[in-house]
Structure 1
Amino acid sequence: MTLAAAVLDALKSRGWMATAAESCTGGMVMAALTDVPGSSAVVDRGFVTYTNAAKQQMLGVSAATLNAHGAVSEEVAREMAAGALRHSDAQVAVAITGIAGPGGSEHKPEGRVCFAIATETTPPVSETVEFGPLGRDKVRSAAAEKALTLLQIAANTA
């Protein structure tokens, strides 16, 4: 069984719908979930919010948060997850924002990805993973896999 299929099973067992707010993964989480037959029973919608404007318009991320912390931050990831829940019919949301590469900076290096997970009864919880300069494709794939794992954990423990 694939990770995406396991996530769908966990969501189905809880009777939950899921949503994702994705930046650097550009929809890879939702693509993985919807590749599995029967996903429409638990996948509500996805938000690809690559720009700061999209994060603000579609998810309600605060300009002040973006200005203070930058798009690649746990603060923004938490606001993305909360906004995805508010703007969907889902009970669980995952958010991903990061620097897939190439590039980055001393303060925000390539491979840094911030995640948040939220449910309708729990506030967003965030974490940062330093995947390192693996290359754009590998960082994005690793980030999507991590996001799916967070969804699975939330569905199994919330």
Structure 2
Amino acid sequence: MDILTYTPPQRPETVEEIATTIVQKLKHANQTLGVAESLTGGGVMAAITSVSGSSAVFYGGVVSYATPLKQEILGVDGQLIAREGVVHAEVARQMAMGARKVTAHGDNETTWGVGTTGVAGPSLQDNKSPGTVYIGIASSGGAWAWGPFNFTGDRDEIRRVTVREALCLLRDVVEGRIPGDGSGVEGRG
């Protein structure tokens, strides 16, 4: 799998506007969302659930800050983690797939999964610098990851920018503006 660097375009919308657009698009398409977060610590879920009516599309999520939770709850490959660490494109992709799986219930499959992993700082993790981030998105059609992003700023800024970019990527994929095999690292789920 090739890892491609992706430079996010300038985006004028606020996080609230992006989250609102996602909720509206998912409602209109009768689709749902599950999230798995690491460095963002629930920020993506908070942005989505801040939108009135989000309960119609948001099934839930997992904050898997601890590495064992990524394996045990989300199903991220332990050998991958041992070999590459948790700050890796394939980990983000598998987290997004895991988000779909753990939030499905009864006969209700989760349409979209999002996964975030990276280093917020202030220290290195897995020999990766603060600001190194990967974002995964999964659907029944496949699973993809984008990165490495090299965000700058302090810990809070890196987390904020990651939430924003995860929401932008999800919106762009849902709207068909970014195909799964376009700007990111592709893999099949």
RMSD of the alignment, in Å?
1.5
CA spacing shift, 1:37–1:67, aligned 2, 3 Å: same
- The one-letter code sitting in structure 2 at the alignment partner of 1:98 is G
- After the TM superposition, list the runs of 4 or more consecutive aligned residues in structure 1 that deviate by more than 3 angstroms: none
* Structure-2 residue corresponding to 1:57: 72
Q: CA deviation at 1:107?
A: 4.0
**For residues 82-101 of structure 1, what are the structure 2 equivalents within 5 Å?**
82-89=97-104, 90-101=110-121
Instruction: Tell whether 2:123 aligns with 1:103.
Output: yes
Secondary structure in structure 1 of the residue aligned to 2:145: strand
Aligned to 1:26, the other structure's residue is in SS state coil
The residue aligned with 2:36 is 21
Per the alignment, residue 171 of structure 2 pairs with: 152
1:26-77 Cα offsets, whole Å, 9 max, x none, are: 0000001101110001101111000111101110111101011110000111
One-letter amino acid of the structure 2 residue matched with residue 138 of structure 1? E
In 1, Cα distance between the equivalents of 2:77 and 2:66? 13
- Give the TM-score of the pair, scaled to structure 2: 0.78
- The structure where helix makes up a greater share of residues is 1
* Equivalent of 1:70 in 60, 85, 103: 85
Residues 37, 135 of structure 1: CA spacing in aligned structure 2 closer, same or farther, 3 A cutoff?
A: same
Corresponding residue SS for 1:67: helix
Stretches of structure 2 lacking an aligned partner (at least 5 in a row): 1-15, 105-109, 180-189
Partner of 2:174, secondary structure, is helix
Structure 2 SS opposite 1:87: helix
**Is the partner of 2:103 in helix, strand or coil?**
coil
Question: In the comparison of the two structures, how many residue pairs are matched?
Answer: 156
TM-score (norm. length: structure 1): 0.93
Matches within 5 A, 1:24-35: 24-35=39-50
Q: Equivalent residue of 2:144, what SS?
A: strand
Contact 2:124 2:130 in 1 (8 A): yes
Letter in 1 for 2:49: T
Distance 1:34 1:105, change over 3 A: closer
Deviation at 1:106? 9.2
